[in-house]
Amino acid sequence: MATAKKAPAKTAAAAKTAAPAKKRTPNAAFMKALTPSPALAAVVGAAPLPRTEIISKLWVYIKANNLQDAANKRMINADAKLKDVFGKPQVSMFEMAGLIGKHVK
């Protein structure tokens, strides 16, 4: 009967010599200032903003106007301003970012 060899245990010293984790750098495409269309500017303002800020301002608007569906929080009920942006009366939060792409340059 052969006995299996055990792998040597890693020591604490070996763990310390590992390369330190790199600081994550933001993607330049997300940080580029984009000009919103007139329909989107009615919600987030006319000043050029990065895509991340546009999404953040949309969520502020959605929450301030209580536009999340009560039964399913992932769905957003569009008011008159958002219907111009989304093109339909209700969208999911996952669709929202894709629909915004048509309204920024």
CATH classification of the domain holding 76: 1.10.245.10
Per the domain annotation, does 19 fall within a domain?
Answer: no
How do residues 63-94 score in pLDDT, each as one tens digit? 999 999 999 999 999 999 999 999 999 999 99
- Tell me whether residue 52 is in a domain: yes
pTM exceeds 0.85 for this model: no
- Return the closest-CA partner of residue 42 out of 95, 80, 94: 80
80: left (phi over 0), alpha (psi -120 to 50) or beta: alpha
Largest CA distance in the chain: 79
List the domain range (segments joined by +) for residue 90: 31-103
Quote the CA–CA distance of 41 and 103 in Å, as a whole number.
9
* pLDDT confidence band for 41 (50 / 70 / 90): very high
Going by pLDDT thresholds of 50, 70 and 90, the confidence category of residue 4 is low
